[in-house]
Structure 1
Amino acid sequence: MTARGLRRLAHSALGAVAPGAGARWTTDVFSSTRTLGIRPDNVLPIGAREFAVDNSPDAPNGYLWGERSPRGTALLVHGWASDSSSMHSLVTPMRELGFRVAAFDAPAHGVRPGSQATMTQYTRAVGAVLDTLGDVRVIVAHSLGTIASIGAAAQRPGLALHCMAFIAPAATLGGVLERWEGDGLKLNRAKVEGVYAELHRRNGVPVSHWDAVALGPGLDVPKLTLHDPDDDMVPYSDAEAIAAGLTHVRLERAHGVGHIGILMSREVRATVSDFVAEHANREKEGIS
């Protein structure tokens, strides 16, 4: 029997004799931040310097490119099971627009210790970075980083954002869970409901809380959503839901790039750059 088969058998047996322990095990697998096998060396990215993040024990530092700028800072927020390096292709375009650029590894991601995290930890870390930097005017987020970014920004009504860009965004954590195939575990409805309950316990809020549309109605800034209609990890319908449910959203298709490859696409980078330039210039000129 394969290791995957043995794990499935052990999980089924544990779930039968101790459902609570089985739910915790399943939730541990669902909450893994290392599913892509990424654990990079703790070195400074090229051209960056480190900055300390206040009040964030799970993500105590990040990276900055450039000095403080009159235009403010563009914050790049990576997706789940990835790290800040996935967003590096956007550093140069944002720098060319005159922004200082910031990125960081979320709790238990990248160079951070651990292999599991919660959306609450993720969102708090984004908020701590926003508070530390104080001049974030643009947020560009990938995948589940979209929900964390919207949640953190929405909690800060004084945040003077020019715009936000969501790349292959996930609209809800519940949607991610419902699509999840269990990574080799044999799931049934009772086990999925057990994960819902365990995630509620760990996050302090129900899974339904992590909904980009429900979290973001107060974010009255221009938003760009870019998504591949054939994305096989997060469906295009998530981008459509965000575009339909939030205000001032421009929805663009990015064909043939996939969920991860979208970050490497020249066309996507150009679209993000043009969108940010348009709205940063409007703010500079005092145009609403």
Structure 2
Amino acid sequence: MKQYLPKIIGFSINLISYFSSSRAAKIAIYIFSKPRKGKLKEEEINYLKSAIEKDIIYNNFTLKTYHWKGNKETVLLAHGWESNSFRWKDLIEILRNLDYTVIALDAPAHGNSGSKTFNALLYSECINATLKQFKVDTIIGHSVGGTASAIALDSNNKLSIKKLISLGAPSNFIGLVKNYNNMMGFNKNVIKAINIYYLKHFGYLPEYFTVANFSKNIQAKGLIIHDKKDRIIPYRDALEIKKHYQNAELIKTMGFGHGLKSDKVYNHIIEFLNT
């Protein structure tokens, strides 16, 4: 039954579009922006208690950050969709053992952060709000966390970020939006209304949000790691990012999937941090 649920919901939204396309788009965008998971479990909560917790108020909601102090440079970790700061546990332990200062951020509507909805632009603003609270040297972002980090740096090139590491990050929004539209089976009325919604609320159509447009002002040295067999974000996205992010190195992995949780990946990260 679960496999048919998106089509059933999509069919209902299609019906609504014949009476009010704007209403249909609003519902569609809300579902697209509403994480189904990413809240913290008891084990995850207990681990994150080892950090110094700091709440940042942004846009009338609370943004949760976790801070482990060290004597070396500061690394900010930004997780992806339907995840939370605990996903970094293994890397946090490695960085702490090497005496790095580590800060992890729960994205809006994820973990212990507030907000009912999520999108990459809002996430980028939250990353910028976090950077105002902490002096960060390097940002590591997984999936949409990598994209949001790039948008944050592109929109504020005054930041003193030295390095940006993207793990399995998408190069654009249009692919994500198209996949969602296909999964839900939206008709042309809904798709057109979604584009109008983006234009009204974000100032641009979904196709504007590409790496070509949000990497122009990034001064930080980059590392892109992407798995050839990533079934969530295709490897071609990494090639597209590398094409436009001139000051970046691309590392291709095999067999680690979208999560990229591997000692080999962590070794690449540490080697890059040490250069």
Bucket of the pairwise TM-score, normalised by the shorter protein: 0.7 to 0.9
State whether residues 106 and 112 of structure 1, in contact with CA within 8 Å, keep that contact through their aligned partners in structure 2. Answer: yes
For 1:128, the aligned partner's letter is A
Identity, % of aligned positions: 22
CA distance in 2, matches of 1:59, 1:256: 37
Are residues 249 and 122 of structure 1, via their aligned partners in 2, closer, same or farther at CA, if it must alter by over 3 Å?
A: same
Secondary structure at 1:60's aligned position in 2? strand
Q: CA deviation at 1:17?
A: 2.2
Q: 1:111-165 CA distances to partner (integer Å, 9 max, x unpaired)? A: 23454223332111000001110x2001100111122111112233332222111
Are residues 55 and 8 of structure 1, via their aligned partners in 2, closer, same or farther at CA, if it must alter by over 3 Å?
A: closer
Secondary structure at 1:136's aligned position in 2? coil
State whether residues 154 and 218 of structure 2, in contact with CA within 8 Å, keep that contact through their aligned partners in structure 1. Answer: yes
Show the counterpart of 2:74. 73
State whether residues 74 and 103 of structure 2, in contact with CA within 8 Å, keep that contact through their aligned partners in structure 1. Answer: yes
Show the counterpart of 2:241. 242
Show the counterpart of 2:200. 201
Q: CA deviation at 1:91?
A: 1.0
CA distance in 2, matches of 1:221, 1:64: 22
Q: CA deviation at 1:236?
A: 0.6
Segments of structure 2 that go 5 or more residues without pairing to the other structure are none
Moved over 6 A (4+): none
Aligned residues: 270
| Structure 2 counterpart of 1:24, from 20, 26, 33 | 26
Show the counterpart of 1:167. 167
Show the counterpart of 1:284. none
Secondary structure at 1:180's aligned position in 2? helix
Q: CA deviation at 1:63?
A: 0.3
Are residues 29 and 160 of structure 1, via their aligned partners in 2, closer, same or farther at CA, if it must alter by over 3 Å?
A: same
CA distance in 2, matches of 1:73, 1:8: 44
State whether residues 220 and 247 of structure 1, in contact with CA within 8 Å, keep that contact through their aligned partners in structure 2. Answer: no
Q: CA deviation at 1:209?
A: 4.2
State whether residues 63 and 114 of structure 2, in contact with CA within 8 Å, keep that contact through their aligned partners in structure 1. Answer: no
Secondary structure at 2:185's aligned position in 1? coil
For 1:271, the aligned partner's letter is H
Give TM-score, length-normalised by structure 1: 0.84
CA distance in 1, matches of 2:156, 2:114: 28
Segments of structure 1 that go 5 or more residues without pairing to the other structure are 279-288
Show the counterpart of 2:267. 270
For 1:216, the aligned partner's letter is S
CA distance in 2, matches of 1:273, 1:56: 34
